Amino acid sequence: MTSKKTSPRWRQAVVWLHVVSSVAWMSQALGLVVLMTLAASDPGQAVAATSMAQRIDTVVLAPMANAAAFTGLVLAGSTAWGYFRHWWVLAKFVLTFAQLYAGIFLLSGALHDSAVAARAGAADVVAWPQIAGTALMASVLAFQVWLSVAKPWKRTSWSPAAKPPTAPTWVFAVGVFTPLADITISVFWGRPLPALSLIMLVVLLGFEQRRRRRRARRPSDRSPRSVPESSSPVA
């Protein structure tokens, strides 16, 4: 059963935001594939296509990717799923952080260079690796959706016997308002700025570590009060 300190509505709100931001991330990645393919195949549309691709990446895709990553971490760390109990959750984390790194340090710069080259009248403004990269991003996101639905593979070898407890309501409330605040700031700032998400993630991770250490020192309190895995939110 769910802990009395936890509101199912707030947990469901985090799940909703995670699903919406993940779908937006994947749909925008597909949009980049279309725009970059158009720029490569039709030189007359290169300026418009590359400029729009750069704008989508900065204004929509990056904030949605940050929100999806943050809410996924909140859901895993604040429910019975945990961070390292299941291989499929761990696989999603690895893929998510790999995509964030590639998107921030590789793809965004390449899209910017393409837009600048197109406006300067360069003949070849789109490299096919950019198209392949955006297509790969969408494909990996689709695979992560399958992981969330199928939940394949066994538990990890270091999975604790007892289920982690479900966090109190305020943790899930933070999981909703923090990414929404960052998205709002990003819209007005004109570029992605997940500062609040990074700060709150550190705070939440520290809170969860202290809470679970206290629980480990009280083995008699390990009653099954956490959310059953069959009904836990998707991480």
Contacts of 41 (CB under 8 A, 6+ apart): none
Torsion angle, alpha carbons of 70, 71, 77, 80, to 10: -160
pLDDT digits (tens, 9 = 90+) for 209-233: 776 666 666 654 444 444 444 434 4
Cross-strand pairs, 64: none
pLDDT of residue 2: 43
For residue 214, how far is the Cα from the chain centroid? 29
pLDDT of residue 234: 46
Q: Given the structure tokens 């109990």, which residue do they identify?
A: 85
What φ, ψ does residue 131 adopt, rounded to 5°? -65, -45
pLDDT of residue 228: 45
Q: Given the structure tokens 């998707």, which residue do they identify?
A: 234
Q: What is the rounded CA–CA span in Å between residue 201 and residue 210? A: 14
Determine the residue type at 80.
A
* CA nearest neighbour of 144 among 222, 89, 219, 204: 89
pLDDT digits (tens, 9 = 90+) for 47-91: 999 999 999 999 899 999 999 999 999 998 888 888 888 999 999
* DSSP alpha helix (H) spans, the chain: 8-41, 46-56, 62-78, 87-102, 108-119, 128-150, 169-189, 195-216
Cross-strand pairs, 155: 86
pTM higher than 0.75: yes
* CA nearest neighbour of 196 among 183, 209, 187, 208: 183
pLDDT of residue 28: 95
Contacts of 17 (CB under 8 A, 6+ apart): 67, 71, 175, 176, 179, 180
* CA nearest neighbour of 49 among 57, 9, 27: 57
* CA nearest neighbour of 67 among 26, 106, 31, 107: 26
Q: Which residues of the chain have pLDDT under 50?
A: 1-3, 220-235
Contacts of 121 (CB under 8 A, 6+ apart): none
